[in-house]
A and B are shown apart, each in its own frame.
Chain A
Amino acid sequence: MGNFLDRNYAAIDGVLLKYSGAEEEFTLSAALNGMPLHTVGMGCFMGMKDLCSIKLPAGIGSIGEKAFSGCVALREAHFYGLPQRIENNAFEGCRNLRSVYLHQLALPRDVYASICAGALHTNTESVALRFPSFGPLAFLQSWLNVSAAQYIPPACPALFVDLPESKELFYKKAPLRCFDFGGGRQALPELTAFCDLMRSRTDLRLADGEKENDALSRTETPAPAKKTAVFCFNENDAKHVGDTVYVDAEIRIELLFFQSGVAVTGENGALYQVYCRNYLSDRANLPYLRKEFTVLKDGKRIIDRKEAEAVYARYRLLTLL
């Protein structure tokens, strides 16, 4: 296939052997001097302490051992193709890796598994798998055909699946209680329950050749949900599924999930979400989570309502009840 050697790159037969640049945001070319790249070689970007963001082109199908190991500043990785193989320690030590963006539609199940095993085998608190290029229904279509266990490797501390506009969609069209899964293996029951729930919602499935927008228009529309509230509370206040947190004399919230992130439902089908303090606190789009509101048990409400309202209004995220 050919060779390519210059000041920054060394590549043979489509395998990138070494990259010596020092960019913070790096987009790997699909081809070097006409030679298409298909593999990021072992240790290729290893120890690049300034690398914050990496974008891998569609042609990259394999990520070698320790390819990004020790990239301590790496926060996000974009896969524009279908990586067939990601070695388990490819992202070892990327302790700031927070988001893995998958831009390809219809990933086969083994690719999901390898991405989880490779990309999430890190020391980070949580990694979000994001699917910016396709809608939630198409994602679910592939999701429904696999077992939940494939998504969460044993060492994965947390998995957070983020679909564009999915929350709005699910609140309006299919009022799911939660679309956040945290806590590795401990989250399996919740994830399995979620998959079961989605399997039961046949109206959410895409028929052969059906466009997503058509499917959305035919999905049943439930009664409009009541207002949504977000409360941040001290993580020591509730630790187990089934714990109850009282945030207001009028609002009783039953804890359904608890691990890093929390989703809860209120009475009468109203949807609430509760995040514990520090949960994904460095996500740029959820800065309000850095605020340390505290809600104690036993009916004592010590959340500062005014301050909370100001914060929510500022970020125009959600309405406080």
Chain B
Amino acid sequence: MAIPYEFAYEKPATLDLAIKLLGEHGKNARLLAGGTDLANQMKQGFRVPQLLIDIKGIHELEVIRMVANELHIGALVTFNDIRSSRLIREKANILHEAAGMVASTGVRNRATMVGNICSAVACMDSATPLLVHESVVHTLSANGEKKYPIQDWFIDNRKTAIQDDEIVTHVSIPIPEEKYAGAYQKMMRYSGEDLSQSNVSVLMLSDKQFRVAFGSVGPIPKRSPKIEKLLHSEGISKETIDKAKAMIETVIAPITDVRATKEYRMHMTKVMFERALNTAMERYKQPRVISY
């Protein structure tokens, strides 16, 4: 089916031109990278941009590299680019693991991580890995660069802190200097296309230091300082894990929808939290950051 209305299309060759176009058209324009979410939204009438600005001609946005101890992932990096990047596999295994669970190969060949956090649908896969890594979203506009810590990025389901004249250039992911290991858990009915009903990321930085984030169980993904504090002050034991699982009831607010009931999501998130925690601890014991 064609998109049910007419609109204009531009493919600027440079970032400067893209910013200029975005500055001129603001709200009426929409940036296009993979388009896997945008095309659907336009077909369904949820978004009706009058201009699509295709950024795939801006090659500097394809970057995957280390800058000091930060991993930079550009706006054009697709989930399959993430899957095939050794660097990301070594430095941010949670993200690498999550990327492999996004939809299907044919979607992952197009869909970008930055597009995922810009669409900001509550069930997105890349948010919790970025949250536990305390990542930063970098934007550019005619007024210059801006940095959004990822915990301030998500405002509501499908709503982020980005301004109409801004383009996300990349996300920077601080890589801990100390030893660390992470794990991602996603609940879905079957692989290949399914959206997550709940997802959990755990990053372990020491025996007592954990970062925990929950996704798809509320309008925005979030970390839980409360659970992190509990794990820190009491250390890992069966009792602490049970306490943390009980605490999840006060941290997340899942809804009932076509994919799962809120009760099921609540129950499974506790189970997945424990699994992610155990997997992270198991991986932490390995001699080095291993690949999965």
Q: Do A and B come from one complex?
A: no
Q: Residues of A at under 8 Å CB distance from B?
A: none
